[in-house]
């Protein structure tokens, strides 16, 4: 399965005129406000988000899973799925692998498939929250934080193996989501668990190649329901500092307690040079892993406002690794991801429209009303023509969902793979 660029181009034809009119009108308006429209289009085009290999099949809950049709059942197929997304949106030029679900059998072949699809390998992810079939030790009571050194060693070795696999693929970073925690008061000694975790992370950090980064994720709860070892950004930040310069905090939007001001966390981390990675999704209740921008698009915009600010003003912070981390329980996973990519680009475009100079001036005068006007003026702008232009210039689809449907992609995948193929992963 690979998308024919010509088909995208011809699909764009009947939308092109309307797009041109909308873009011209918007560009004219924005230019009149002093906005460099071309620069924004360029930044949108440059913005690439990794797709995690496990998000290409249907997700589920503890109460069950309703499968989808034509799921990719091999790493090659997963890369092809990302290729489809990238061809249509021009903003999904990377895949993030999960080990052991995605161990390549033939590295050379896999890299060729990726290159053919214009896809690079982003951060590699370890898995110590499930027991593998051949595992000697169980992670039921934790992995990097386990009271038993043998278990910790197994988990450390697994992470090191993941780095090795990543090296062969051209990845440059390792993401550690440590699910470890406890379900009941008393089950775990917090200090012991934290100390073990720090030790384990340092051992993994020790084998990291010079040009790699380690991302340390945090999460307040789930899959454990009383405590999580790395429960918040403060803990992750502390651990990253303990490990060293190549260790960073990773922010996943769904990994926060109710009402958390996430944008402030983002801002603090960038100021400290420690925001390494970012996982996009949306949620109403917990770590719902809903489509990006489907529940709280303004919050997403506010977060991007801090990201844009930090990328400009915080040279101490590396360019973050972007990834979608969502679950697709009732939608076609590829359509869901297209909607997520669109929402990310929309929030980014609106954040780029914020007039930072006027905002700063208003802040210095405590003109709160004006500050809000400036943010809302950017947010209320219909930026879809800018997103379209960025795609159009690179032969992406003006309307990716519509293109995906009119090209019958899902049906083609089902034809190729069979109706009841099952994606490895969750």
Q: Which residues between 154 and 173 bind its own copies (CB under 8 A)?
A: none
Stretch touching its own copies by CB under 8 A, among 79-87, 95-103, 128-136, 206-214: 128-136
Binding to its own copies, residues 61-90 (CB under 8 A): 61-64, 66
Scan residues 250-269 and list those touching its own copies (CB under 8 A): 257-261, 263-264, 267-268
How far is Cα 75 from Cα 424, in angstroms, rounded to an integer?
A: 9
Closer to its own copies by CB, 4 or 316: give it: 316
Could you say which of 401, 412, 414, 422 contacts its own copies (CB under 8 A)? 401
**Interacting span for its own copies (CB under 8 A) from 83-91, 107-115, 201-209, 354-362:** 354-362
Judge whether 312 and 260 are in contact, CB under 8 Å.
no
Q: How far is the CB of 64 from its own copies (least distance, A)?
A: 4
How do beta strands 173-176 and 213-217 pair? parallel
Nearer Cβ to its own copies (6/136):
136
Sequence-separated (6 or more) residues with CB below 8 Å from residue 59: 65, 289, 327, 328, 329, 426
Least separation in angstroms between residue 324's CB and its own copies is: 16
User: Mask 315-334, x = binds its own copies (CB under 8 A)?
Assistant: ------------x-xxxx--
Q: Which CB sits closer to its own copies, 208 or 392?
A: 392
Footprint on residues 212-241 left by its own copies (CB under 8 A): 220-223, 225-227, 231-235, 237-238
Work out whether 359 is an interface residue with its own copies (CB under 8 A).
yes
| Residues 273-302 interacting with its own copies (rule: CB under 8 A) | 283-286, 288, 290-291, 293-299, 302
**11/104 with CB nearer its own copies:** 11
Site string for its own copies, 11-50 (x = CB under 8 A): -----------x--x---x---------------------
Shortest Å distance, C-beta 129 to its own copies = 5
Pick 217 or 263: Cβ nearer its own copies? 263
- CB nearer its own copies, residue 96 or residue 305: 305
Which residue, 72 or 385, is less far from its own copies as judged by CB? 385
**Sign of the CA dihedral running 15, 21, 24, 28:** negative
In the complex, the smallest distance separating the C-beta of residue 170 from its own copies, rounded to whole angstroms, is 28
Among residue numbers 192 through 211, which ones bind its own copies (CB under 8 A)?
A: 192, 194-195
d(CA 250, CA 218) in angstroms, rounded, equals 7
| Closer residue to its own copies, CB minimum distance, 68 or 121 | 68
Q: How far apart are CA 197 and CA 1, in angstroms?
A: 43
Count of residues near its own copies by CB under 8 A: 108
Give the footprint of its own copies on residues 87-116 (CB under 8 A): none
* Smallest gap from residue 329 Cβ to its own copies (A): 6
Of residues 172 through 191, those in contact with its own copies by CB under 8 A are: 179, 182-191
């Amino acid at each position: 399965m690979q998308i024919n660029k010509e088909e995208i181009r011809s699909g764009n034809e009947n939308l092109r005129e309307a797009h041109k009119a909308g873009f011209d009108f918007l560009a004219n308006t924005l230019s009149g406000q002093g906005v460099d429209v071309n620069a924004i289009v360029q930044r949108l085009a440059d913005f690439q988000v990794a797709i995690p290999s496990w998000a290409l099949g249907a997700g589920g809950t503890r109460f069950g899973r309703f499968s989808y049709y034509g799921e990719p059942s091999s790493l090659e197929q997963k890369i092809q799925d990302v290729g489809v997304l990238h061809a249509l949106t021009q903003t999904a030029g990377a895949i993030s692998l999960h080990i052991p679900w995605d161990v390549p059998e033939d590295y050379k072949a896999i890299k060729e498939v990726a290159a053919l699809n214009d896809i690079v390998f982003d951060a590699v992810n370890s898995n110590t929250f499930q027991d593998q079939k051949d595992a000697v030790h169980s992670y039921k009571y934790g992995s990097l934080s386990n009271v038993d050194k043998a278990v910790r060693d197994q988990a450390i070795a697994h992470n090191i193996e993941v780095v090795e696999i990543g090296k062969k693929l051209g990845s440059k970073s390792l993401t550690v989501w440590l699910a470890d925690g406890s379900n009941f008061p008393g089950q775990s000694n917090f200090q012991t668990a934290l100390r073990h975790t720090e030790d384990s992370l340092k051992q993994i950090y020790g084998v990291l190649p010079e040009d790699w980064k380690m991302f340390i994720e945090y999460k307040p709860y789930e899959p454990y329901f009383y405590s999580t070892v790395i429960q918040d950004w403060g803990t992750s930040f502390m651990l990253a500092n303990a490990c060293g310069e190549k260790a960073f905090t990773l922010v996943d939007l769904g990994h926060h307690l109710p009402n958390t001001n996430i944008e402030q966390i983002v801002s603090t981390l960038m100021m400290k040079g420690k925001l390494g990675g970012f996982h996009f999704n949306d949620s109403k209740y917990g770590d719902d892993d809903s489509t990006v921008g489907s529940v709280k698009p303004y919050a997403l915009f506010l977060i991007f406002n801090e990201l844009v600010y930090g990328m400009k003003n915080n040279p101490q912070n590396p360019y973050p690794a972007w990834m979608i981390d969502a679950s697709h329980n009732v939608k076609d996973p590829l359509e869901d991801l297209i909607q997520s990519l669109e929402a990310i680009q929309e929030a980014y475009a609106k954040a780029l429209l914020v007039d930072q100079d006027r905002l700063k001036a208003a802040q210095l005068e405590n003109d709160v009303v004006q500050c809000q006007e400036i943010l809302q003026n950017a947010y209320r702008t219909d930026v879809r023509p800018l997103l379209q232009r960025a795609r159009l210039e690179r032969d992406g689809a003006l309307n990716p969902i519509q293109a995906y449907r009119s090209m019958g992609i899902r049906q083609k995948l089902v034809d190729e793979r069979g109706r009841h193929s099952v994606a490895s992963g969750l």
